[in-house]
Each structure stands twice: as structure tokens, then as C-alpha cells.
Structure 1
């Protein structure tokens, strides 16, 4: 598989990054994410006093405000952590394995494929258990990734070619989605909100649905992260070092697709988190994948918290889906990458 993109940082930037202790950077972002989480718990259609937020967090739900925090706000914050980490790590895997800075779940058709599969299940089998949504979404995401892989890499691919093929495959899935919305008009509103990417109405059931996937798969990814570094040396050199190249590539891509699909199952198709977070992480801690994946996870959490909080507070009592906010942030960055890599 021929790849033209190089994810290694420039020497001057690498020197600057080398002076930073990744543990300090990641720890600082984790602290910032905790602070943002507490702020997010207090922001909504009706602002909640910080005292009620803190009381709710220590188990005192004697006030109406504290019950709102526990029943409505807390599940969304927990999902921001799960979805942010899942999408960011998924994007980091794909960019590292494919060695392409434009690889991300939403760019290469994974999120749209997972979205179509999830819609088909909920519309055609409305009595199906919610626990079936993640594995069915995984199958759809895997189909999307496979189609892009086949068409983009048949003769080798540039970053721009990958993006164009991903957009084309996503357009096909989008046509299927439009057909389903036309055929099942009574479910249009809820389906559109879900497809835009929103945590509206999500409760602890959604947290319980996503948590096993994210909490199991992310540690597995971190254990095998060294393989991404080896694959980054090129297929020939990786094989020379004894790395089973194709087997490792398939394993890592399956992990990336599974993470993204689990996120889609509970949050809908939130875009650009998987694209932006790994880029920011590499600028902060360098290109070694174990540390950059950890940093990307924290960046993803912050992006989701900011997007969800802005969505709830900017036009209250109306709510802007988090996916629209991430699109406003990520769309211009994606265009910047296209222009930069297309030169």
C-alpha cells in the first residue's frame, strides 16, 4: 500500500515538543477536563448553582437542582468523556496505521456506515435490544471502512484521494439515510437529531451501553500502540523487524472501527473529533503513539465537553446538537488540511 503523507513532526517542532513532559501535558489536560466537566454540569436551560452541583456529586440529591444534575446532566458529561476518548483514539489509530493525516472515522466512511446500520436496526426492528446497536453499528462502520480501503488503495493513495473516496462513500450512505427518512417519516425528527450528533435525552442507559466497549478497547489499543510506531516505519522495514504487517494493520483498524461505532451508537455521527484531536495531540506531545493517543483522548474529551456545553447554553432553552458545533470547529480545519496536503 503506497502512502504519500508523513505524520512525523518537523525537526524544529520536534525539538520544542521534546522539551515538554508528556505526563505534565496529559495531566494538565485531564485537570482542565475535570474543571470543564463541573462547569458543564452547571450549564443548561436553567443554570444550576455550583453548590448544588457539588452536593449532587457527593450523593446529596435532596434538591430539585441536584436531581437534575444526577439524572440529566451527569450522563451527558460521562458520555462526553467516553465519546471524546473513543473518537479521538479511533482517529489516532487510523492516521497512524494508514499514515495519512486525513484518516478519521467520519472522513473514511466509518461513522456514516455505522449510522446507517444503527438506523436500519432501530427502524426495521424497533423492539430490538439497545445492546444490539453497538455491534450492528460496528458492522456498518466496518463496511464503510472496507469500501474506502478497497477504492482508495487499489493503486496507492494520496491523502486527498483518501478524503475524496471517503466523501464519495459517505455520500452513498447519506443517500440510504435519506431514503430511510422518506420511508419512515414519523421518525424523522429523532433520526435527524441523532444523525447530526447529539447527546440530548441520553441517560445512564446510554452510558452503560458505551462504557464496556470504550473501557475495554482503549486499554487494548494502548497495549498494542507500539505496533503503530513500527508500521509507521514503512511496510518493508516493519516486516524486517519481524512485525506481521497485514495482521497488525487489520487488528488496529478493527479496533479503530469498533471504537468509532460504539460512539456512534450512543451519540450519533459527531464529526471531526477523530480528525482534529490526534493532530492537536501530536503538536503537544510529539508523534510517539502511546503518548499521543493518551493526549488525543484528553483533547477529544475537551472538544466534546465544549461542544455539548455550547450547544446547551448558547441558545437556551433551545439546544444545538454537539455535532453541529464540532462541524463549525472542524470543517475549516479539514479544508486547511486539504489545501495544505493538496499542494
Structure 2
């Protein structure tokens, strides 16, 4: 089997798998070094359209406020043009919030795509696997207990709520994978363990809200809804750095995703190291979710809904990674725009994503209960 470059792709290798897939689909294979992929025009088109919509939604969101700015002036200010007042409002006051929404949404969308691909379960997402709940528990512990909750809570309080949330999310991910690992990670076991860890974390969070005083409980409840209200450049940097590091890592690791969908035995026969690939991809996805939660709180349903919508738009066997990241950013920014402008009182963005995502979750559950393929 040869790719577009004419070089032979040996059977049992990732390049051979992708080249064989391309031949079956009647599409050209693209090879870069030892890797190859299938050229999918629909995937490229959907991703580029989504990126354009993200830019448009971000410009509209930045332009709305007490001092309205047109889309053209927003884009000019972002490019270094416009007058001084507009540049100050756009770059210093409004851009950090919208950029945080873009990055957090992209991280959640990519996280959901990785999680659902690894588990082969469209209902699996960081929302249900305990990552968001674990991050929420440690963040609420810092808010509710502060320096009076013992040495561990005092240490987390010195780090701040975002870092505490990051540690809690990563810890939850490690616990889920540790409990689910039995000579490998089985998808069903991973989901069940994740649901259990999620329930435990939610219970601890509820107890913390009960024992906290009214002011601390109120502050923690606001954080738990997921909000971009106080986002600044301090929130942009961590999630931006995580995406720069983890997105290329996920894309490199994802060359074995297609084989994993065929089952463990088939994937092993094709030369994919199943357990190593599954653990690596899953941990990357869960760490992305933890970083996103640390930056903006637990914004629900983005990681669950977006990969499934993108999979249907692109018509692929697994959720597309880049498209899921792009449309995750689009959903988060659009939800923030709705939260700020649709009602007389501004709402946290997490409430809007929950309102938009819950009907789709019920739809997926209904199809699954009727035995319809998701």
C-alpha cells in the first residue's frame, strides 16, 4: 500500500493502518514522516467554518457592553488599529474574558472528544467521570474552609482556588484511572469508576457547602456554576499554556484512535499498544478538563455535547479532535454572549451551557434506551 508520496506503508504500522483506511474509503492518504492520515475535505471545511464563527462570535461578545463597539472596530483594535480608547477597552477590559472562554471551551471540547473516543461511549465525558467534580471539591474546600481546614487545606489555600481546582481535577483523574486499571483499562470499568468518583466528590462538595458560613457558601456556589465574569490575563495564561503543550500531544497520540475503535484484539494486531495509548489519551483529556475547570469553574455539558455534534457534522467514526476543540470554543463564547445580553441580569456561562446541553443529553439517553446506535 502506498500513500500519496508513493512510499510503501508496511502492514502492522500506524502509517499502514491509515493508508489502508484511505484505500478503503477511496481517499488519498497524507504522510508526514512515519505518520499518515486520510484526507477528509468535509472535516477541513467544518473545522474552518467553525473557526470563522468563533472569530465572529468573539468579536460580537467583545463589542457588547456599556460602551458598544462595532464588529469592524473590534477587529481593527485587535489588529492594532482604532483609536486609543477602543484599544484599551478591547485589549485590556474585554479581550481576556472572551479569550478565556475560547480557550476553556476548546480544552473542554477536545477533552470530551478524547474521553468519548477512548471509552467508545458517547455518554462519557469529564462531567461524568469525576474530573470536574474533583476540581470543584478542592476549590470549594479552599473557599469554605480557608486556613482552618487543616494542613492540606491550608496549603491549597496558599496556592489559590485555581491551582487547588487543578490539583483536585488531576487527582480525580489519577484516582479514576488507578481504580479502573486491571491489566489494562476497560471502557465500561472506567465509566463506572468515574461515575462513582463523581458521586463521592459531589457528596463531599455538598457537605462543605453545609458546614461553611453563609458568605463562603455563597462564594463557592457562584464558582460552582462556572463563570467568566472575573476572567483576566491570569486565567488566560494557564489554559493557553496547557493547550499549546497538550493539543499537539493529543494529535500525535490520536493516530491510534481509529484502530482502537475496532476493538482491543484488532488494534493490537495492527501494531497499536492498546493500554498505553488508551491511558495516555485519557489522561491528556482529563488534564485538559482539569485545567479548564481551574480557569473558569465547572462549565458543564460542553465536553459532553460538542464532540457528538461534531461527529455528526463530519460523519466520522469517532469525534474529530480539532473540530471538537473549535466548536467547544464556539459554544462557550456564544453561551457567554447569551448569558450577558439575553436577560436583564447577567448569568454565569455554566447555567446557559447546562440549559443548552441538558436536552441533548436526554436525547442521547432516549436513543440509547431505544437501542438506537449513538
Counterpart check, 1:280 vs 2:280: no
Contact preservation (8 Å) 1:114, 1:261 = yes
Query: What's the offset of the Cα at 1:178?
Result: 2.0
Go from structure 1 to structure 2 and tell me whether the alpha carbon gap of 1:188 and 1:223 turns closer, same or farther (over 3 Å shift): same
The size of the alignment, in residue pairs, is 322
Counterpart check, 1:182 vs 2:203: no
* 2:330 counterpart (293, 298, 302): 302
* 1:33 counterpart (34, 50, 54): 54
Query: What's the offset of the Cα at 1:56?
Result: 3.4
Contact preservation (8 Å) 2:172, 2:197 = no
Instruction: Map 1:53-202 onto structure 2 (within 5 A).
Output: 53-59=74-80, 64=85, 66-121=87-142, 123=146, 124-125=153-154, 126-128=157-159, 132-133=163-164, 135-143=166-174, 145-146=176-177, 149=180, 157=188, 162=191, 169-185=197-213, 186-202=215-231
* 1:327 counterpart (354, 362, 367): 354
State the partner residue of 1:210: 239
Query: What's the offset of the Cα at 1:102?
Result: 0.4
Go from structure 1 to structure 2 and tell me whether the alpha carbon gap of 1:184 and 1:150 turns closer, same or farther (over 3 Å shift): farther
Contact preservation (8 Å) 1:112, 1:144 = no
Query: What's the offset of the Cα at 1:239?
Result: 1.2
Go from structure 1 to structure 2 and tell me whether the alpha carbon gap of 1:189 and 1:144 turns closer, same or farther (over 3 Å shift): farther
Moved beyond 6 Å, runs of 4+: 153-156
CA deviations 1:256-286 (Å, max 9, x no partner) are: 1100000000111101111111111111223
Which has the bigger relative contact order, CA under 8 A and spacing at least 6?
Answer: 1
Query: What's the offset of the Cα at 1:226?
Result: 1.3
**CA–CA distance in 1 between the matches of 2:61 and 2:179?**
37
- Alpha-carbon RMSD across the aligned residues, in angstroms, is 3.1
Go from structure 1 to structure 2 and tell me whether the alpha carbon gap of 1:94 and 1:189 turns closer, same or farther (over 3 Å shift): same
Tell me the SS of whatever aligns to 2:158. coil
Contact preservation (8 Å) 2:57, 2:330 = yes
**CA–CA distance in 2 between the matches of 1:319 and 1:209?**
26
State the partner residue of 1:255: 284
* 2:250 counterpart (218, 221, 230): 221
Go from structure 1 to structure 2 and tell me whether the alpha carbon gap of 1:188 and 1:150 turns closer, same or farther (over 3 Å shift): farther
**CA–CA distance in 2 between the matches of 1:209 and 1:244?**
31
Tell me the SS of whatever aligns to 2:309. helix
In structure 1, runs of 5+ residues without a counterpart are 1-13
**CA–CA distance in 1 between the matches of 2:251 and 2:112?**
14
Query: What's the offset of the Cα at 1:183?
Result: 3.1
**CA–CA distance in 2 between the matches of 1:45 and 1:184?**
36
CA deviations 1:91-122 (Å, max 9, x no partner) are: 11111111111011102222111221333355
Query: What's the offset of the Cα at 1:190?
Result: 2.6
**CA–CA distance in 2 between the matches of 1:223 and 1:278?**
19
**CA–CA distance in 2 between the matches of 1:212 and 1:19?**
29
> If the length of structure 2 is used for normalisation, what is the TM-score?
0.77
Contact preservation (8 Å) 2:166, 2:293 = no
> If the length of structure 1 is used for normalisation, what is the TM-score?
0.83
The structure with the largest alpha-carbon Rg is 2
